[in-house]
Structure 1
Amino acid sequence: MKATRLMSMAIVCVLACWGRGDGLDDLFPKSNKVVAEGQGVKVTRSELDAAVKFSLMNSAAEGIPLTVAPQALEEQLLHELIFARLAFGRATRNDRSQAYTQAKEAYNNQLAGYTSARAFNLRVAAMGISTNAYRKRLYEEALARAVMDRELTSKIDITEGQCRKFYEDNLKNWTEPERVRVQHVLLATMNPVTGLELSESGKAQKRQQAEQVRTLALQGRKFEELVLNFSEDPGTRRKGGEYTFARGVMAPEFERVSFAMQANQISRVVETKFGFHVIRMVQRIPKKVKPFIELQKDIRKHLAEQEASVRLPGYYKKLREDAEVKVTLGP
């Protein structure tokens, strides 16, 4: 479950846009003019400019158009910078340790979604920062979340009755359809650089490679090794090629073959718009309704985060007043 948009905006999007230059300083005229200052807080014009630039470049890299007016975006980012620095000043040793672990895990998970470290670094560079600077941002994001969890979210009392009511009111959401867990090796028929389809001869070569992979699988070669050595699916290559899914999610050809297989069976070569697949059935998971006891912890966390998002503006206001933060935003 996810926190509401307000919580997300204040922690995730906010801190991803926070920076002290980190490779963007050369794109802005440097200015040490202070635009916000208080006890433990000081934000300069250059730092705010860098945050705005990073936000714009990140949106462009994601292909997401900004709908906020420039002045409104600047004001929003300034308050998010203030909030983040106030929170960071309150971090404990345990907060920092927890943040380090979470940031490292987040970085590794994102890296695993790319075909190579170079491809990942290029994606980060498209946001206008270095990989090291991006690691730092992930840590800062996790640290702010840890502080908020400790000071705000963890102090919200959610009763079992509230959890059970939420469970019963949303019973249809806890029903899981029949699913299958499979592994696959993909030989892609699209050029990863240009995004264009391969020629017919190129496709024929990929099919031949897929047939060779299938032969190795039938001969007893560990499927995880085949995935690591041959698969061109960046999203699953480092995770054993695994997908767990219900009907109506995957490409129709892939789904049809997967649901027709038995455990440990190796499929024929399956062609989809993505390329040629060799599939191994791992497990068939029957339809079920998740019991309350299994969901109670997640429901309590969701309800606490939901309430925290309501209390967040007041929490920020008090931190700002206690630190006597003054804003002098201008050109």
Structure 2
Amino acid sequence: NLFPDKVVAQGTGFEIRLSQVEDAFTTLESSLAAQGQAIPPSRRARLEGELLDRLIFTRILLAKATAPDKLKAKDIAEKYIGEFRKRLPSEEAFNRQLQAMGTTPEKFRADVTDRAICEAVLDREVKSHITITDEAAKKFYDGNPDKFQEPEQVRASHILLLTQDPKTGAEMTGDQKKEKRAQMEKILARARGGEDFAKLAKEYSEDPGSKERGGEYTFPRGQMVPEFEAVAFSLKTNQISDIVTTKFGYHIIKLNEKIAAQKIPFAKKEQEIKDYLMAQEVQKRLPDYLAQAKKQAKVEILDPTLKSEESALRP
């Protein structure tokens, strides 16, 4: 064999071959290519070293896994895979996505399950020894006021008549647009004449995202197209706008409520803060934990070209 699949690293109860590192690199390369990114040749050696470290730590953590760890991981992996599939329209699309990522359904399932097992082991051996107190969470909340501000928002309803084909996005003709505007002028007259705006929206609006709830959205600045946002924030409560033209078509907008900027209460963010602080603390402890695990497993890197500058990567 001109190109033997040599062992590049070993430890108690396991060995890792060059083909495994190359497979991991190919998968990473394919995944990045699917996002329009490429790996510069100058980074290949370093990345291969880091990927070898990941393979080593995965093998160490899998060996530490208990039956409860595996059971917990199985549920998490199944849930993740189910949610991943739901985001794609068909089984064919799911398989195409995996192919673009450089993997197969079987390998994808195995990799997701292994990652979940590793996380379960780290939860038990690292996370379970950390406590984030109420006081620590409150201190973070008080020390970072900018992170917990809700900006000014408006609760507004609108009626939309499209001037583009909803399927293709193609612009309607000038005559078609004139008809739509004339129709919107009649709807505007009825709304300003006292008819229920929500009922008019349910009957006439061509915005499927809001039609069934009477055309209503609640939003801060920066979420809607500029022409729509500018009018919505300039209205007085219960005022109905003139016809507003955007790239989507003709709108009329009714302001239901202006919601002032306010600080988010601590109680609403306490658990999120604790989760964040926990993740930060786990990251601090991880290098020492993984270095010790590597030492206990008597890990040897047999190919010096694959020694990573990063000695403690999370799997």
TM-score of the superposed pair, with normalisation by structure 1: 0.64
- In structure 2, the residue matched to 1:48 is 21
Q: CA deviation at 1:181?
A: 8.4
- Aligned equivalents of 2:123, 2:151: Cα separation in 1: 33
Mapped pair 1:155 → 2:112: no
> What is the DSSP-based 3-state SS (H/G/I as helix, E as strand, rest coil) of the residue aligned with 1:64?
coil
Give matches, 1:33-112, under 5 Å.
33-66=6-39, 69-112=43-86
- In structure 2, the residue matched to 1:316 is 290
Q: CA deviation at 1:156?
A: 1.7
User: What do residues 230-266 of structure 1 show as CA deviations (whole Å, max 9, x unaligned)?
Assistant: xxxxxxxxxxxx9875221343356568777999xxx
- Aligned equivalents of 1:136, 1:189: Cα separation in 2: 45
Answer 1 or 2: higher relative contact order, Cα 8 Å, separation at least 6.
Answer: 2
> What is the DSSP-based 3-state SS (H/G/I as helix, E as strand, rest coil) of the residue aligned with 1:69?
helix
- Aligned equivalents of 2:283, 2:291: Cα separation in 1: 13
Larger Rg: 2
- In structure 1, the residue matched to 2:202 is 218
- In structure 1, the residue matched to 2:109 is 135
Mapped pair 1:289 → 2:263: yes
- Aligned equivalents of 1:122, 1:30: Cα separation in 2: 31
Q: Which moved more, 1:29-38 or 1:121-130?
A: 29-38
- Aligned equivalents of 1:59, 1:79: Cα separation in 2: 20
Q: CA deviation at 1:47?
A: 0.8
- In structure 1, the residue matched to 2:149 is 175
User: What do residues 1-55 of structure 1 show as CA deviations (whole Å, max 9, x unaligned)?
Assistant: xxxxxxxxxxxxxxxxxxxxxxxxxxxx985321111123321111111001111
Aligned length: 278
- In structure 1, the residue matched to 2:310 is none
Alpha carbons 1:31, 1:46 under 8 Å: kept? no
User: What do residues 199-240 of structure 1 show as CA deviations (whole Å, max 9, x unaligned)?
Assistant: 5469x99xx9xx9xxx997259xx9xx67xxxxxxxxxxxxx
- Aligned equivalents of 2:218, 2:68: Cα separation in 1: 35
> What is the DSSP-based 3-state SS (H/G/I as helix, E as strand, rest coil) of the residue aligned with 1:128?
coil
Alpha-carbon distance change, 69 to 284 in structure 1, aligned in 2, over 3 angstroms: same
> What is the DSSP-based 3-state SS (H/G/I as helix, E as strand, rest coil) of the residue aligned with 2:15?
strand
Q: Among residues 122, 142, 152, which one is paired with 2:96 in the alignment?
A: 122
Q: CA deviation at 1:75?
A: 0.5
Alpha-carbon distance change, 31 to 262 in structure 1, aligned in 2, over 3 angstroms: farther
Alpha-carbon distance change, 181 to 57 in structure 1, aligned in 2, over 3 angstroms: farther
Alpha carbons 1:41, 1:325 under 8 Å: kept? no
Alpha-carbon distance change, 85 to 250 in structure 1, aligned in 2, over 3 angstroms: farther
Q: CA deviation at 1:174?
A: 0.8
- Aligned equivalents of 1:40, 1:261: Cα separation in 2: 72
- Aligned equivalents of 1:243, 1:117: Cα separation in 2: 34
Unmatched 5+ stretches in structure 2: 184-198, 210-215, 307-315
Q: CA RMSD in A?
A: 4.8
Q: Alignment identity in percent?
A: 32
Alpha carbons 1:177, 1:286 under 8 Å: kept? yes
Quick one: which amino acid aligns to residue 226 of structure 2?
A: P
- Aligned equivalents of 1:66, 1:182: Cα separation in 2: 46
Alpha carbons 1:114, 1:120 under 8 Å: kept? yes
Mapped pair 1:298 → 2:282: no
Q: CA deviation at 1:82?
A: 0.5
- Aligned equivalents of 2:68, 2:146: Cα separation in 1: 39
- Aligned equivalents of 2:80, 2:156: Cα separation in 1: 24
Alpha carbons 1:58, 1:127 under 8 Å: kept? yes
- In structure 1, the residue matched to 2:300 is 326
User: What do residues 140-171 of structure 1 show as CA deviations (whole Å, max 9, x unaligned)?
Assistant: 22222222122112212333332222111101
Alpha carbons 1:35, 1:43 under 8 Å: kept? yes
- Aligned equivalents of 1:249, 1:98: Cα separation in 2: 39
> What is the DSSP-based 3-state SS (H/G/I as helix, E as strand, rest coil) of the residue aligned with 1:143?
helix
Q: Which moved more, 1:154-163 or 1:165-174?
A: 154-163
